[in-house]
Amino acid sequence: METDDLQQLVVEALDDLKAQDIQVIDVRNKTAITDAMVIASGTSDRHVKALADNVVAKAKEAGVKPLGVEGERDAEWVLVDLNDVIVHVMLPRVRDFYNLDRLWRMEERLDVRAHARY
């Protein structure tokens, strides 16, 4: 399955169960471990787990076997590794603390500043 198709499948699986603030970040030029990261929030630990489980189920239906799933026990932050797409589903407070959205977009912000004229 192509990365863009897998990305769309993940977003739809998250949206099906009402994930909040779904962000897709292209990281092809930032890391060799994956092509894209999808970050989303759930409203409770049960919601976070249900969102991650739905991503895994939809991926398997499409013939994509996850390489791993981490964090299901506490379900404050569940990571689903689909190889070309890594999915982070978090509680809002955990997401705010680790701020992966900003971390993986840092280079984009730096590039903008590098081209600014003073």
- CATH code at position 29: 3.30.460.10
pLDDT of residue 107: 55
Q: What percent of the chain has pLDDT over 90?
A: 79
Distance between CA atoms of residues 108 and 66, nearest Å: 29
In b/e form, how buried is each residue of 89-99, taking b as 16+ CB within 10 angstroms? Answer: bbbeebbeeee
Torsion of CA 35, 71, 64, 5, to 10 degrees: -40
Coil, strand or helix: which one is 63?
coil
CA–CA dist 13, 31 (Å, integer):
25
Predicted TM-score (pTM) of this structure? 0.86
> What pLDDT does 112 receive?
41
H/E element, 61: helix 45-61
Angle CA(93)–CA(34)–CA(14) in degrees, nearest 5?
45
pLDDT at 114 (0 to 100): 46
Q: Please say if the pLDDT value at position 1 is more than 70.
A: yes
Number of domains in the chain: 1
pLDDT in tens, 22-77: 999 999 888 889 999 999 999 999 999 999 999 999 999 999 999 999 999 999 99
Its domain, for residue 10, covers: 3-114
